[in-house]
Amino acid sequence: MSIVVTGATGHLGRHVIEQLLEKVPADQVTAVVRTPQKAADLAARGVRITVADYNSPETLDGVFAPGDKVLLISGSEVGKDRVGQHRAVIDAAKAAGVALLAYTSAPGTLTAALADDHRATEQVLTSSGVPYVLLRNGWYHENYTENLAPVLAHDAVVAAAGDGRIASAARADYAAAAVAVLTGEGHENRTYELSGDEAWSLAEYAAELSRQTGREIAYNAVSGEVLVDILTGAGMPEGFATVLAGVDASIAKGELAGTGGDLSRLAGRPTTPIAEAVAAALKD
């Protein structure tokens, strides 16, 4: 029996593996990756490395074993057949007889197009007969703090989110919830709405950046159309820019503002404040 993490060398997957290794022996952890070279450090620590690709279902044969607990980290290739990719993993897990499959989904309140693939995957999983957990991850701090260069270049946070509030949390927080589910008991067929303990607005975010940098950083609220123009002008593909503008529209409607407390309860600690994430990003 193993704890299997797909997408293990991605941003979230790395956090999950690191936190798993604090709780279970390395030989009980399997990292599923597309590029084994990126997992060389994990292999050196005793983690089992398995090479597979969501886009090639045949590579998933033999990845899972009876009794495994699996974390399916959602594919990041927006515009690809993500539901098909996820179905391939679910089918392979079902055929192997895994004990649990947890999936990193999107908040149940989110109506933006970004959530469509997640809702469809949830349907595939919940109807598969595989014991499941839906980890409905909210927005990540890093969606903002890893993109500070243009903000600092123009002294402005530009978004189409209006006065909406965002109950985001750090990737490490969401990873802690996943690890709690993978190493704990009694989570079968449960849905967790995961979000930060405190919601904040982008105006408050700009004010926090101003406080920590000593510069005057403004929040410029624009329309969705203008945001798409700005992002595509900076080189972002139009399809992805439209998806991000759609998320901003959902934020403006309050769809990512919920603070239900599931995340901090699973993690066993308060979630990371946005101010702390800003400070860490400015040090990098």
**DSSP line for 211-249:** HHHTS--EEEE--HHHHHHHHHHTT--HHHHHHHHHHHH
Instruction: Please tell me the number of Cα atoms within 13 Å of 6 on its side-chain side.
Output: 28
Q: What is the DSSP string of 147-198?
A: THHHHHHHTEEEES-TT-EE--B-HHHHHHHHHHHHHSSS-TTEEEEE--SS
Q: String of b and e for 225-246 (b: at least 16 CB within 10 Å)? A: eebbebbeeeeeeeeebbbbbb
Question: Quick one: what percent of the chain has pLDDT higher than 90?
Answer: 95
Cα 108 to Cα 138: distance, rounded to the nearest angstrom: 9
pLDDT confidence of residue 284: 79
Write the pLDDT tens digit of every residue in 189-214: 999 999 999 999 999 999 999 999 99
d(CA 134, CA 122): 7
Q: What's the rounded Cα separation, in Å, for the pair 258 and 107?
A: 9
Q: What is the pLDDT of residues 228-271, one digit of tens each?
A: 999 999 999 999 999 999 999 999 999 999 999 999 999 999 99
Where is 118: in which H helix or E strand? Answer: helix 116-126
Q: Which of the 8 DSSP states describes residue 25?
A: -
pLDDT, residue 244, reads 94
User: Tell me, what's the pLDDT at 18?
Assistant: 98
> Where would I find the H helices in 4-81?
11-20, 40-44
Q: Which of 130, 154, 139, 148 is nearest to 201 (CA)?
A: 139
Model pLDDT, residue 168: 98
Short-list 257, 218, 225, 222, CA closest to 241: 225
pLDDT in tens, 129-162: 999 999 999 999 999 999 999 999 999 999 999 9
Residue 229 CB partners (closer than 8 Å, separation 6+): none
Helix (H) or strand (E) holding 122: helix 116-126
| pLDDT for position 78 | 63
pLDDT digits (tens, 9 = 90+) for 27-56: 999 999 999 999 999 999 999 999 998 888
Residue 72 has pLDDT above 70, yes or no: yes
State yes or no: pLDDT of 1 exceeds 90.
Answer: no
Start-to-end Cα distance in the chain: 39
Q: SS3 of 18, please?
A: helix
The rounded mean pLDDT for the chain is: 96
